[in-house]
Amino acid sequence: MARVVKVFRTLRNHWKKSTFAVCVLSYGGYWLYGKHCDSVLRREACLLAREYGQQQIAPQERIRKATVILNPAACNGKANNLFEKNAAPILHLAGVQITVVKTDYEGQAKKLIELMEETDMLIVAGGDGTLQEVITGLLRRPDQDVFSKTPIGFIPLGSHNSLSPSLHLLSDNKVKDITSATLSILKGETVPLDVLQIKGEKEQPVFALMGLRWGAFRDVASKISKYWYLGPLKTNAAHWFSTLREWPLVRDVSVSYLAPTLRPPDLPPVKAPRPNLIYRIIRRLKNYWNPPAEVEEPEKWEEQQLSTLELFIQTHNKNPVERRINDSLRISAETHNLTMGEFITAGNKKAADPTVFTENATELEAGACRLQLPEGASGFYNIDNEEYEAMPVEVRLLPRKLRFFISAERREQLLSQIQ
């Protein structure tokens, strides 16, 4: 008993050191528990992957090949370590023959994809920037009609992973997100995604999966990180300081758009039977002597002048399993008559989800659109969270152009949200 009393007396006399020691031990215990949970998640994922690797294949079948485009600079340089510890073992245990291609500088993924050989699946390990470079390089290829049929897997390793909520169940645990995304690739369930083709007057086209964002909210969002020292108030502060520098922040833009087209039914491709030889000879002779006239109907563009705080042209990939009547992209223009307080409130919501707009925003559905900026306009677009210089562009929808791996659990969750 005397020893216990002595211990408590010592703790009371050195209460500062005791408090510091308790804080250090608590943090250390929490850190070790987190590492243990991560190890358990990796072990469970590896056991599931081993079941795929132990499945027998027919003599005429070959091992599946996958090309991995890895951006080691993603997630502040941690992407390579995250991939090697959490994703690579799962792919190896599943019997997938992987070829890892690491990028060394920004824009290299486009060039690597243009030189890529045929593969069974393409895996993008990085963030929004890496994914956008890969699909841009893929769809710029001369043989993109063939390569666009290659299923694509996305392993979220970046600071921004905008597409990940559409494909996987997300959590607060990075290891769980990576392992579940890798397992969804092994299960092989895919979903078609729309692609935006964005072309300037002189530049090569850029392709996007989420959308193009332009306006005051985008400009403020790019500066929020500068106010890191304000903690949870940094978003409010960034929007408030922007109103002090300039108000109102209204942008004028001319939007021309085409009406959306009807969406064909989701039917598997069926190869029509080949006609007999006599029919083919007669058809060729008929087309030679009397070639069919090709009459192209002129596109009917409608123009609208908008004054807006922000313009967002986006796909419907937020819920890729939703059945829609039309193939269309969505043009959202924020109302221009917000007060300063409403601007700051809306900016807080957009910081969490840029697709959120106020009730008075203008919403248009279109098959394609053209943006004509006023003379002297400057600034930047955000195309899938990557900055591009603002200029007049034409945006066209490529419906169901690419197929991405999706987890069955996320598909069921998205279907339940529709119902």
Whichever domain contains 155, its CATH number is: 3.40.50.10330
The CATH number covering residue 230 comes to: 2.60.200.40
pLDDT tens track for 302-327: 899 999 999 999 999 998 988 888 89
Give the residue among 198, 196, 244, 243 at the shortest CA–CA distance from 217. Answer: 243
Pair (215, 176) in one structural domain: no
122 and 221 inside one domain: no
Q: Are residues 45 and 156 in the same domain?
A: yes
Residue 34, in any domain of the structure = yes
Helix axes 340-352, 234-245, angle to 10 degrees: 140
- The answer to whether position 356 is within a domain reads yes
Instruction: Tally Cβ neighbours within 10 Å of residue 325.
Output: 8
Residue 217 has pLDDT above 90, yes or no: yes
Query: In this structure, are 66 and 129 located in the same domain?
Result: yes
Measure the CA–CA gap between 157 and 277, rounded to whole angstroms.
Answer: 55
User: Residues 180, 215: one domain?
Assistant: no
118 vs 113, 131, 138, 161, 370, CA distance in Å? 10, 19, 12, 26, 35
Query: Does any domain span residue 392?
Result: yes
Which segment, 13-27, 177-191, 267-281, is predicted with the most confidence on average? Answer: 177-191
pTM above 0.85, yes or no: yes
Query: Which spans in 273-407 are helix H?
Result: 277-289, 340-352
Q: Check whether 91 has a pLDDT greater than 90.
A: yes
**Residues belonging to the chain:** 419
Per residue in 106-162, pLDDT tens?
A: 888 988 898 888 889 999 999 999 999 999 999 999 888 888 899 999 999 988 899
346, 396: one domain = yes
Same domain, 183 and 229: no
Q: Which residue has the higher pLDDT, 143 or 22?
A: 143
For residues 180 and 328, membership in a common domain is answered with: no
Q: How far apart are CA 204 and CA 133, in angstroms?
A: 13
Q: How confident is the model at residue 268 (pLDDT cuts 50, 70, 90)?
A: low
Same domain, 152 and 256: no
Domain region containing 180 = 28-52+61-188
Q: What per-residue confidence (pLDDT) applies to 118?
A: 86
Count of domains observed in the chain: 2
| Cα pseudo-dihedral 272, 278, 281, 285, rounded to 10 | -120
Shared domain for 180 and 219, answered yes or no, is no
Statement to judge: residues 344 and 258 lie in one domain: yes
In this structure, is residue 385 part of a structural domain?
Answer: yes
Residues 182 and 230 in one domain: no
